[in-house]
Amino acid sequence: MLCSFRAAADYEDIVKFEIGANSIVGQKMKFHEFTLSKPDNQPREFVSCMSRMIAFEDFALFLVQMETFRYFGGNLVVAYLECAIKKVYELMKIYEKDGLLKMRHAYKASDNPNIPYDSDAQTEFSNQLTNSHLCLYEFRESAEFIAFTDWDDVLFVRQIFGKIPSTFAESFRKISFLNPSVASFSVSRYPFINEKAFRPKSYPFSFEKLFNQLNYSLKTTPSKLVVRPQNVGGVWIHNLGYSESNKYQDIRVDSKIAAIFHIKNLIIDERETETPIKKLIYTENGSHLIVGKVLQKNMVKMFGKYNFTLDLSEYSHSQIFHKLIFKCYDAITKKKVNKTLLFCPTHKGCIYPEQNITVIKVAATYKKPKKIAGSIWHEREKVDFVESNKGCL
């Protein structure tokens, strides 16, 4: 069916429309108003749809992700933020101002008084699939390629046909040329570890130091995904969900062309004891993969443009949220192994101690639920980022 009338003007970000439905033959049709956001229409070669930020605190990980993305010619990182330490949020705003980052409100379900449970606690890994598809559908029509990774998964390209490529897009475009029916690219992921964690004062973070002391293992972990979005109907972070037709397939990318390093041990508190790395596992040095000096120069140049001073001693290195969630997921994994897990695997399945930490988090209000043809429709009315001193968990 085609409609000859435009749903909204170009300058409008949302579209309002009415749907009529009934569940009983002969019953009078009831119409309800709905609101949809319009998809992005700015052409981009390479977009990264990052996994949702539940309780984000690692400023160094954020900087590594953003500056390596810039280094390889990426156009836009999309961040679905549920909660982050305020200092990291302020850092994100600088990158958003620069145009390399776009922040989005992460999805949170409405509080429904008629059901005896938290809806967000009943979704796999806290709405990860929902947020990934929000991003896919927003940029599906405008991006040539979209990557789906976690924040600790850093995508890089190495060489193709013996030539070092200038951008992510160039690498995946050449692979696409050789495989015209490709819908998605499974990219191998390697465990990387920072040999010496950075501390607030005694050993401050530096890109040049980092890429000279990164070691990795040749044993791969589950791959992550890059897609040609117009050939894809649905995705999962580790594999293609649905292609637009059976002729579109997933292919595995040669790790000599593109790979992902799954990075650990970036920061640690000043007085905390660091766990020695297992050098028998992390046998390879990664200093040849990325020129850290260039990343440092690019970052300093951007901060100078906005008169922003990065005082690393002001940023938390303790990773309290990470430790709490890791402890939670460790317990969930054990229950899954012995088949006693009674709920979806999510951080909301755990109880946490109080956290007196200033954060920025999502706050949403919802319209009155609508019952349509036997289904209940919940729609956000207003959503904002708000400040809280009670932490993220």
Note whether residue 7 is domain-resident.
no
- Please compute the mean of the pLDDT values over residues 289-317 and round it to a whole number: 95
Note whether residue 105 is domain-resident.
yes
Measured from the Cβ of residue 190, the count of other Cβ atoms closer than 10 Å reads 19
The crossing angle, in degrees rounded to 10, of helices 292-305 and 59-71 is: 100
pLDDT > 60? residue 272: yes
pLDDT > 70? residue 51: yes
Residue 370 and residue 32 in contact, taking contact as beta carbons nearer than 8 Å: yes
103-114 pLDDT tens trace: 999 988 877 766
pLDDT > 50? residue 300: yes
Domain count, the chain: 1
- Please compute the mean of the pLDDT values over residues 338-357 and round it to a whole number: 86
- Please compute the mean of the pLDDT values over residues 178-200 and round it to a whole number: 95
Residue found under tokens 């200093």: 287
Note whether residue 274 is domain-resident.
yes
- What is the domain range of residue 82? 41-366+381-388
If pLDDT is split at 50, 70 and 90, which confidence band does 23 have? Answer: low
Q: What is the pLDDT of residue 377?
A: 78
Residues in a beta bridge with 148: 49, 225
pLDDT > 90? residue 140: yes
**How many degrees, rounded to 5, is the angle at CA 365 between CA 363 and CA 367?**
160
If pLDDT is split at 50, 70 and 90, which confidence band does 27 have? Answer: low
If pLDDT is split at 50, 70 and 90, which confidence band does 263 have? Answer: very high
Distance CA 224, CA 217 (A): 17
Top pLDDT among 358 and 29 is at 358
Rg of the chain over Cα atoms, rounded to whole angstroms, equals: 22
Residues found in the chain: 393
Note whether residue 279 is domain-resident.
yes
If pLDDT is split at 50, 70 and 90, which confidence band does 163 have? Answer: low
If pLDDT is split at 50, 70 and 90, which confidence band does 2 have? Answer: very low
If pLDDT is split at 50, 70 and 90, which confidence band does 3 have? Answer: low
- Please compute the mean of the pLDDT values over residues 226-236 and round it to a whole number: 93
Residue found under tokens 């819908």: 183
Q: Tell me, letter by letter, the H, E, C secondary structure of the chain.
A: CCCCCCCCCCCCCEEEEEEEECCCCCCCCEEEEEEEECCCCCCEEEEEEECCECCECCHHHHHHHHHHHHHCCCCEEEEEECEEEHHHHHHHHHHHHHCCEEEEECCCCCCCCCCCCCHHHHCCCCCHHHHHHHHHHHHCCCEEEEEEECCCEEEEECCECCECCCCHHHHHHHHHHHCCCEEEEEEEEEEEEECCCECCCCCCCCHHHHHHCEEECCCCEEEEEEECHHHEEEEECCEEEEECCCCCEEEECCCCCEEEEEEECCECCCCCCCCCCCCCCCCEECCCCCCHHHHHHHHHHHHHHCCCCCCHHHCCCCCHHHHHHHHHHHHHHHHHHCCCCCCCCCHHHCCCCCCCCCEEEEEEEECCCEEECCEEECCEEEEEEEEECCCCC
Note whether residue 374 is domain-resident.
no
Note whether residue 356 is domain-resident.
yes
Q: Tell me, letter by letter, the H, E, C secondary structure of 250-318.
A: EEECCCCCEEEEEEECCECCCCCCCCCCCCCCCCEECCCCCCHHHHHHHHHHHHHHCCCCCCHHHCCCC
pLDDT > 50? residue 120: yes
Note whether residue 258 is domain-resident.
yes
- Please compute the mean of the pLDDT values over residues 55-84 and round it to a whole number: 98
- Please compute the mean of the pLDDT values over residues 175-182 and round it to a whole number: 95
pLDDT > 80? residue 371: no
Residue 210 and residue 229 in contact, taking contact as beta carbons nearer than 8 Å: no
Q: What is the pLDDT of residue 183?
A: 96
Residue 232 and residue 244 in contact, taking contact as beta carbons nearer than 8 Å: yes
pLDDT > 60? residue 1: no
Span of 78-92, 148-162, 191-205 with lowest mean pLDDT: 148-162
If pLDDT is split at 50, 70 and 90, which confidence band does 164 have? Answer: low
375 φ, ψ to 5°? -110, 155
Note whether residue 176 is domain-resident.
yes
- Please compute the mean of the pLDDT values over residues 118-140 and round it to a whole number: 84
Residue 213 and residue 266 in contact, taking contact as beta carbons nearer than 8 Å: no
Q: What is the pLDDT of residue 16?
A: 76
Span of 67-76, 184-193, 283-292 with lowest mean pLDDT: 283-292
Residue 353 and residue 328 in contact, taking contact as beta carbons nearer than 8 Å: no
- Please compute the mean of the pLDDT values over residues 180-184 and round it to a whole number: 96
To the nearest whole number, what is the mean pLDDT of the chain? 88
- Please compute the mean of the pLDDT values over residues 129-157 and round it to a whole number: 95
